[in-house]
Structure 1
């Protein structure tokens, strides 16, 4: 892994809050879950396509993956195919991250 994964611009402050600590699938830094965006995958019936959707309230059922609201973290996670592994999607699945990209762009 190169130095690209460490360019996250979101300040890390894991010790200053009481929320559970999670790892960003993009930059691999640990942070409080209140700083990260939870992402879940919804499957399209009868296909191998999965749609990644932001879970702002952190209440959606199933596995979740966490990413900083930083475009670099998100692009790194997509390039590394980290969401598929973190969410334990079947190998060879098509992943659509459009909704998550839109959410991150709104924030930045």
Structure 2
């Protein structure tokens, strides 16, 4: 029997199989304090990742809770842009 890793969604805080969640990573946006949160469907990008259900309500909850900055351990006061994840999510529906 093959074990599937379990991750916690940063939006709804429910645990789920890694395959059911979207991994996201933070990449610098070029400004001093800005970060882009980008989807990592293949789970291969470098850096610390966070997991979120690929659902608008989980993404909106994570944004409202400012969960990405904490989960990705970004410096305090960082500006987080989740537009790439929101665009990816819209393309999936």
TM-score, normalization: structure 1? 0.80
1:89, distance to aligned residue in structure 2 (A): 0.3
Within the candidate set 26, 39, 63, 1:54 is matched to 39
1:105, distance to aligned residue in structure 2 (A): 1.8
Q: Displaced runs of 4+ in structure 1, greater than 2 A?
A: none
- Residues 43-102 of structure 1 show CA distances to partners (whole Å, capped at 9, x for unaligned) of 134510000000010011110000001000000000100000000000110001000011
Gaps of 5+ in 2: none
1:93 paired with 2:39, answer no
Aligned length: 92
Residue in 2 that maps onto 1:77: 62
The more displaced of 93-102 and 37-46 is 37-46
Q: Give the Cα separation in 2 of the matches to 1:22 and 1:32.
A: 6
> RCO (CA 8 Å, sep 6+): is it higher in 1 or 2?
2
- Residues 13-63 of structure 1 show CA distances to partners (whole Å, capped at 9, x for unaligned) of xxxx73200000000000011000000000134510000000010011110
Gaps of 5+ in 1: 1-16
- Give 3-state SS (helix, strand or coil) of 2:7's partner: strand
TM-score, normalization: structure 2? 0.93
Q: RMSD across aligned C-alpha pairs, in angstroms?
A: 1.3
1:27 paired with 2:12, answer yes
- Give 3-state SS (helix, strand or coil) of 2:85's partner: helix
